[in-house]
Copies of this chain bind each other. A is one copy, B any other.
Amino acid sequence: MDVAAELKAGSVAAGARAIRWLDDEDPRGREVLREIFSATGRAHVVGVTGPPGAGKSTLVDMLIAAERCAGRRVAVLAVDPSSPFTGGAVLGDRVRMGRHALDAGVFIRSLATRGERGGLSRSSYDATLVLDAMGYDLILVETVGVGQEEMDIVRLAHSTLIVAVPGLGDEVQALKAGLLEAGDILVLNKADREGYEATARHLELLLHLREGGRAELSWRTPLLRAVAARGEGGEAIVAALDAHRAHLEASGEFARQSARRCEQQFLMLARTAVLAELLARAGPGLLEEVRARRLDPYSAAERVLAPLRAAASP
């Protein structure tokens, strides 16, 4: 059985298996990736983020339906760094799948952190490649809007959609305002709630302040209105995503960003592997010397580098 060929033909079972292997760092995952890599780079990767309680899952469900109406195949990758157990995440998938369970054009999968920093970025990137090779037109990467690692994940995306909500308290949302800087499309969900007008004005102001600081501005982040629970606003989001993809393609940025992402993933893997190898070689003694200030960082780094320099060049 050839998992790579099967997933390229669209097999959900093969895709799910490959994602699990990659997530578990099973060497078979790398094998699959090697075989599918040249078939990737076509999907539009969209990051969806926002504060807890903004209704991201409901909005994503609505967006799936709207994209399906437009004829697209859609995959969702739900990234939850706070959940320590993949079991819970998988159960969540089953519940969420409900509405789209019989639709072969929709694939939903959750990734939960194993605790190591950077691990979730790697898993998300790997899973995105698998979904891309499976032929999904759109890959929605959904994260809770907090922390550095999620910003790294958001940076994986071609387009970033920020979900805000009235009445959560402007201060709380402002605390997450760092996220705004990464936003290409801003959606104010639960727009039938009290406080909608005030929050909309507040967000318009933030967008205005942000754009004030940019010299060359070719894309203006739109602020869209949605009531996802009632299915309102999906078409406008689909249109905005299409416009953003067209904008990226017109400037050549779509391809450049995909290439940059591959390069960064490679450098991240290499850096992590180098560090692991270094720590294994240096042993606890060298680290202890440095921590106790008996050996300075430059000399310690030299000591680690020496065997590599001494090794004959190829």
**Centre residue among A275, A277, A295 by max chain B CB count within 10 A:** A275
Complex CA distance for A278 and B263, rounded to whole angstroms: 13
Could you say which of A259, A303, A308 has the most chain B C-beta atoms within 10 Å of its C-beta? A308
* CB–CB A311/B314 < 8 A: no
A310 — which chain B residues lie within 8 A by C-beta? 311-312
Given A34-B298, A297-B265, A308-B307, A209–B171 Cβ distance below 8 Å? yes
A interface majority secondary structure: helix
Whose C-beta in chain B lies nearest to the C-beta of A205? B171
| A246: interface (CB < 8 Å) | no
A276 nearest CB across to chain B (Å): 10
Partner of A178, one of B178, B300, B305: B178
Q: A306 touches which one: B266, B279, B314 (CB < 8 A)? A: B314
Contacts of A290 in B (CB 8 A): 262-263, 266
A202 at interface (Cβ–Cβ under 8 A)?
Answer: yes
Q: Cα distance A271–B268 when bound, in Å?
A: 10
Minimum distance in angstroms from A137 CB to a CB of chain B: 18
Bound CA–CA A3/B306 (angstroms) = 27
B171–A270 contact, CB under 8 A?
no
- In the complex the two chains form, what is the Cα distance from A1 to B290 in whole Å? 27
Q: Which of A36-44, A87-95, A216-224 contacts B (4 or more CB under 8 A)?
A: A36-44
B281 near A313 (CB under 8 angstroms)? yes
> For residue A180, which residue of chain B has the nearest CB?
B175
Partner of A269, one of B260, B273, B301: B301
- Beyond the given A266-B301, A270-B275, please list 11 additional residue pairs across the A-B interface where CB-CB is below 8 A: A40-B293, A171-B174, A175-B180, A175-B210, A177-B178, A267-B275, A269-B301, A270-B301, A271-B275, A271-B278, A311-B312
A residues with CB within 8 A of B: 30, 33-34, 37-38, 40-41, 169-172, 174-175, 177-178, 180-181, 202, 205-206, 209-210, 259-260, 262-263, 265-267, 269-271, 273-275, 277-279, 281-282, 287, 290-301, 303-314
Q: Report, nearest first, the 6 A-B pairs whose CB atoms are least far apart.
A: A174-B174, A37-B296, A311-B311, A266-B297, A269-B301, A259-B291
